[in-house]
Amino acid sequence: MRILVINPNTTASMTDKIRETAVAVAAPGTEIVALNPADGPVSIEGHYDEAFCLPGLLEETRKGVAAGADAVVIACFDDPGLEACREIVDVPVVGICEAAMAAASMVGHGFSVVSTLDRAIPIIEALALKYGFERHCRRVRAASIPVLALEEEGGAAAAKVREQVLAAIEEDRAEAVLLGCAGMTDLADALTRETGVPVIDGVAAAVKFAEALVGLGLKTCKRGAYAPPRVKSYSGALARHAPQPPLKAAE
């Protein structure tokens, strides 16, 4: 089984952390291919960044499935381009926010999310509503740090995340805490051990869900919402992104 894990931003050090987590949780026999696009924002902090990460994300998804990936994980907690990627391939495509919320709903009675900046709060609240987990979500918190602060060795970012995790447990009565950024992936285990509460990293959750979906032989439905985009021309600089016939997993 091969799982393609895409960091939709262009920061290679974050991709390296994501790869380490994915490899650590993957089952024997699962190959992890982790990468990021060459073009796009260095971090994703809001709708504008999200919009400009999509061309690279879609291109890497298409290329990865053509090369034999059995599933795709989108390693950004905003789950950017999740539905679009599901349209262009038939393998399972898993977003780390959706996976983390699903996992949290199974191991605790109510969860909180700790993200980076305040601007992420309404985005994640909207995702909880979209995915049907709004009644499980106690609160979305922000550690008031930019995403790239998580890449600074010896910085204060990890301590600020920890502070909000502890507050979520005490003040929100959260029985699980979600780390709302793929750049936090290396913090989950230590925080779980310290608090005794499941602190869930979406990268790890998404990889395990992807393995399960592939193991069950499930594909993305190609009727209705995730039907392939209609083949047509695109103009100008976006011509190379024009919809092509759908890709299927390599036999």
The CATH number of the domain where 124 resides is what?
3.40.50.12500
pLDDT value at residue 31: 98
- Residue 72 pairs with which residues in a beta bridge? 4, 93
User: Does some domain include residue 249?
Assistant: no
pLDDT exceeds cutoff 70 at 125:
yes
Same domain membership, residue 38 and residue 84: yes
CA 21 to CA 15: how far, in whole Å? 10
Contact call for residues 44 and 53 (beta carbons, < 8 A): yes
Same domain membership, residue 159 and residue 105: yes
pLDDT exceeds cutoff 60 at 249:
no
Same domain membership, residue 185 and residue 66: no
Tell me, what amino acid is at 175?
Answer: E
Choice among 69-73, 153-157, 243-247 with the minimum mean pLDDT: 243-247
Range of the domain at 162: 97-201
Count of C-beta atoms within a 10 Å radius of residue 83 = 12
User: Does some domain include residue 251?
Assistant: no
Please compute the mean of the pLDDT values over residues 148-167 and round it to a whole number. 93
pLDDT value at residue 14: 97
* Sequence-distant (≥ 6) Cβ neighbours of residue 226 within 8 angstroms: 83, 86, 87, 220
Residue 203's alpha-carbon distances to 34, 50, 100, in angstroms, are 11, 18, 8
Question: pLDDT tens, 225-240?
Answer: 999 999 999 999 888 8
User: Does some domain include residue 175?
Assistant: yes
Contact call for residues 226 and 246 (beta carbons, < 8 A): no
Same domain membership, residue 75 and residue 27: yes
Question: pLDDT tens, 170-219?
Answer: 999 999 999 999 999 999 999 999 999 999 999 999 999 999 999 999 99
User: Does some domain include residue 81?
Assistant: yes
Tokens encoding 172: 């929100």
Q: Which of the four pLDDT bands, split at 50, 70 and 90, describes residue 104?
A: very high
Please compute the mean of the pLDDT values over residues 109-126 and round it to a whole number. 98
Counted domains in the chain: 2
pTM (2 d.p.): 0.94
Please compute the mean of the pLDDT values over residues 105-133 and round it to a whole number. 97
pLDDT value at residue 238: 87
Full DSSP string of 173-203: --SEEEE-SGGGGGGHHHHHHHHSS-EEEHH
